[in-house]
Amino acid sequence: MDVVYSELHALQNGAYELIGGQLQPPVEKPERAETIRAAVEAAGFGPLLSPESFPDDTITRVHTPEFVAFLSTAWDRWVEAHGPYDALPLNWPVRTFRQKIPEAIDGLLSYYSLDAGTPITAGTWKAARTAVDVALTGARLIQGGKRHAFALCRPPGHHAAADLYGGYCFLNNAAIAAQYLRDNGAAKVAVLDVDYHHGNGTQAIFYDRADVFFASVHADPLQEYPFFLGYADETGTGAGEGCNANYPLRWGTGWETGYADALDDACRRIHGWGAEAVVVSLGVDTFEQDPISQFKLTTPDYTRMGERIARLGLPTLFVMEGGYDVAALGDNVVNTLTGYLNASVVA
């Protein structure tokens, strides 16, 4: 299986993150992608491909031009206002506030963000922009006839919506790849999101559309971040009614205690809907030892996950999302891809 990777991911390297009321070293750090790269290479995956460059209009098919302009200039404006420290928002336009776009950089960060856990640094734009190229290079491989590819993206993307960043995500790599597949020949594309957290950004981007099906297996938003989207009664709207499927699962869920059944149902829905290709938002933060998560999947369970995804029998683009136990990340990703390949109908 081809693996697309760029070392420029390391340009996203925040200094600290607010976790549980304390400033701590970020869990979303460069070592994540480096350890996955080393593990897939050691397992014989490859070749390792560098991303091609894609134009900005692939991004603005999914994100607003105003949001892209904001993200690409935010660091320079922040440095001008404050100095060379991580750019973080401090308040949000929640209930009772107006949704009017401010002028000052602090207000813009507030308007365009969903949390204070996603630092914009000197290299954020370059890293996020390169992650999009990584995902699109994988999508182009699929569009060109490959049955599968792995886009080893970092930073992740699934919390980013059309004009919203947060949850360590800036540009929605998986959504941009799905849209690329739509724009280049596939009539119906599914996104299967197996990250521990609900893919609120991807859901929002495609919520009113009948041409992209979004299915997500994740921790119950009653208990877990991002808290305000991801319930089972979110089924799509307008033309997209029936094209969104959420499987919220309680803390403590394991493979045999709810996860496998939910994944199976999600895959059945995607198959029944008639998808021509699937983009997998591959988060492995469902792992039992993940430092910020509460599911109980084991390393062998990822082989089973890959096997189930393979039984869809669809061209498959894996796009890396979360997963924060650096010691096990490589094994969990390799097992997913190996399980997929070994169960693939087309080798």
Q: Which residue in the list 159, 197, 198, 218 is annotated as catalytic?
A: 159
Q: Rounded to whole angstroms, what are the CA distances from 312 to 132, 155, 210, 302?
A: 25, 27, 20, 16
Cα distance between residue 321 and residue 80, in whole Å: 32
Does residue 155 touch ligand OKP according to CB under 6 A?
no
Concatenate the DSSP letters of all residues of 242-287 into one string.
T-EEEEEE-TT--IIIIIHHHHHHHHHHHHHHT-SEEEEEE--TTB
Binding partner selected for residue 292 from Zn ion, ligand OKP, none, CB under the kind-specific 5 to 8 Å limit: ligand OKP
Residue closer to ligand OKP (CB basis): 156 or 236 = 156
Which of 34, 193, 285, 331 binds Zn ion (CB under 5 A)? It is: 285
Please choose, out of 23-31, 52-60, 87-95, 188-196, the segment that lies near Zn ion by the rule CB under 5 A: 188-196
Does residue 322 touch ligand OKP according to CB under 6 A?
yes
Structure tokens at 49: 């491909």
Please choose, out of 57-65, 180-188, 197-205, 220-228, the segment that lies near Zn ion by the rule CB under 5 A: 197-205
For residues 114 to 143, the per-residue mask of contacts with ligand OKP, x marking binding by CB under 6 A and - elsewhere, is: ---x--------------------------
Minimum Å gap between C-beta 145 and ligand OKP is: 31
Please choose, out of 3-11, 113-121, 135-143, 315-323, the segment that lies near Zn ion by the rule CB under 5 A: 315-323
Does residue 285 touch ligand OKP according to CB under 6 A?
yes
Does residue 196 touch Zn ion according to CB under 5 A?
yes
Minimum Å gap between C-beta 122 and ligand OKP is: 21
Residue closer to ligand OKP (CB basis): 20 or 55 = 20
Minimum Å gap between C-beta 30 and ligand OKP is: 15
Strand segments (E) across 144-243: 148-151, 189-193, 212-219
Report DSSP state, residue 230: -
Please choose, out of 142-150, 178-186, 322-330, 333-341, the segment that lies near Zn ion by the rule CB under 5 A: 322-330
Verify whether residue 159 is a known catalytic residue.
yes
Please choose, out of 52-60, 128-136, 263-271, 275-283, the segment that lies near Zn ion by the rule CB under 5 A: 275-283
Does residue 283 touch Zn ion according to CB under 5 A?
yes
Cα distance between residue 275 and residue 278, in whole Å: 7
Which of 155, 167, 230, 315 binds ligand OKP (CB under 6 A)? It is: 167
Cα distance between residue 69 and residue 65, in whole Å: 6
Does residue 283 touch ligand OKP according to CB under 6 A?
yes
Minimum Å gap between C-beta 23 and ligand OKP is: 12
Does residue 195 touch Zn ion according to CB under 5 A?
yes
Cα distance between residue 33 and residue 51, in whole Å: 15
Residue closer to ligand OKP (CB basis): 67 or 165 = 165
Convert 111-140 to b/e letters by CB count within 10 Å (16 or more is b).
bbbbbbbbbbbbbbbbbbbbbbbbbbbbbb
Which of 292, 326, 341, 343 binds ligand OKP (CB under 6 A)? It is: 292
Q: Rounded to whole angstroms, what are the CA distances from 344 to 1, 4, 43, 306, 341?
A: 11, 20, 17, 9, 5
Residue closer to ligand OKP (CB basis): 203 or 344 = 203
Cα distance between residue 132 and residue 149, in whole Å: 15
Cα distance between residue 143 and residue 92, in whole Å: 40
Cα distance between residue 138 and residue 133, in whole Å: 9
Helices (runs of H) and strands (runs of E) counted in the chain: 9, 10
Element containing residue 136 per DSSP (H, E): helix 124-143
Residue ranges binding Zn ion (CB under 5 A): 195-197, 283, 285, 322
Residue ranges binding ligand OKP (CB under 6 A): 19-20, 117, 156, 159, 167-168, 195, 197, 225, 283, 285, 292, 321-322
Q: Which residues are catalytic?
A: 159
